[in-house]
Amino acid sequence: MRVLIDIGHPAHVHLFKNFYSEMISRGHDCLVTVREIPSAIRLLQIFKIPFISIGSKSDGLLKKAMNQVYYNKQVYSIVRDRKIDIGLGTSITLAHVSAVSGMKSLLFDDDDDKVQPLMTLFGHPFADHVVSPDSLRGKRRKSNTVYYYGYHELAYLHPEIFTPDQSVLADLGISRGEIYFILRFNAFKAHHDRSAQGLSDPQKIQLVHYLEQHGRVIITSESATNELLRKYLLKISPEKIHSLLYFSKMLIGDSQTMTSEACALGVPSLRCNSFAARLAVLEEEEKKYGLTYSFRPDEFESLMARLDSLLSNDFLHDEWQAKRKRMLNDKINVTAFMIWLVENYPESIKLMKENPEYQFRFRSHDH
């Protein structure tokens, strides 16, 4: 089978890296395309995944639209020349190209329709299938959506796939058992982030000063950082971030993806941005499993109060690992599911529609 994986964000490298390596080992022909995103390209190089660059990204809406036409032409040529059977990704490009070529497209999308109007309008209708976490059931206009019991993050942080590496602690001069916190700050540059708000600089500084009384503070940021915070910035190879997160006391920030990664690892997390209470995946992780807490930017004082109460809990780690276990008992190994879905396509789609419980064969109870 000839498979195309289209990467539009660094998180997508993690989402598809295990799928890629397993499909290659099974004898499939896999090709990866990526936009000129330095962090995504760096990860592909680290994981030794060959790729074809299809152009740069832009911030402005008009430039994004012009780039989209260019991406479509680039990927269409690749699909035609390489005779691609099926494409996977989270991009509008894949959907558009599949609509005018023989390639079938599976759009792995874990965002709600209402927070990404451009994708909902210009991506979903052209895709053969949208593949989404079950927490989004009832929140999709696209009737041909396939729902699975999992999250994107369980494609690379499920315990059957991910083993945390303690050597990351030595890399940063952290002694075993030392308490440290990770602060993650978002850039909010995606098309659906145009009016989004996260933590302000004064709030970030207040957080750091408070947390320093309880342990070491490490900041990872997508955007330019206030000079008062620069000394806390992380200097680590990007593929080690999940091990660093696993051994941390807590994650605090305004990033969706890293918050959900913390949930997958059983690490307490607090998130403050204008997407609070608006995203089905994070709402499920918070309301059903109690793994995280979300706050709007005007609720920062509530975040600080919650942070204070969590830090006074002597059993925090054990409680969160128990919550994680409960969540994992309901969920599947997403990479194993993806491989089955693609290798058995289109029969796999029909089976998922008729008997969604079939996917429980990809569930493990040994955590």
* Statement: residue 326 has pLDDT above 80: yes
Tens of pLDDT, residue by residue over 99-115, are: 999 999 999 999 999 99
How far, in Å, CA of 160 to CA of 364, rounded? 8
Domains of the chain and CATH, by start: 2-158+332-362 (3.40.50.2000), 167-328 (3.40.50.2000)
The model's confidence at residue 187, banded by pLDDT at 50, 70 and 90, is low
Residue 255: per-residue pLDDT:
87
Among the listed ranges 4-18, 181-195, 286-300, 311-325, which one has the minimum average pLDDT value? 181-195
> Distances in Å between the alpha carbon of 79 and those of 17, 30, 31?
20, 12, 10
Give the containing element (helix H, strand E) for 74. Answer: helix 61-82
CA distance 318 to 298: 31
Q: Position of tokens 């099974």?
A: 26
Burial (CB count <10 Å: 0-12, 13-18, 19+), residue 282: buried
* pLDDT range class, residue 360, cuts 50, 70, 90: very high
Lowest-pLDDT range, 70-84, 122-136, 184-198, 240-254? 184-198
Strand partners, 217: 181
pLDDT tens string 236-275:
889 999 999 999 999 999 989 999 999 999 999 999 999 8
Higher-confidence position of 329 and 142? 329
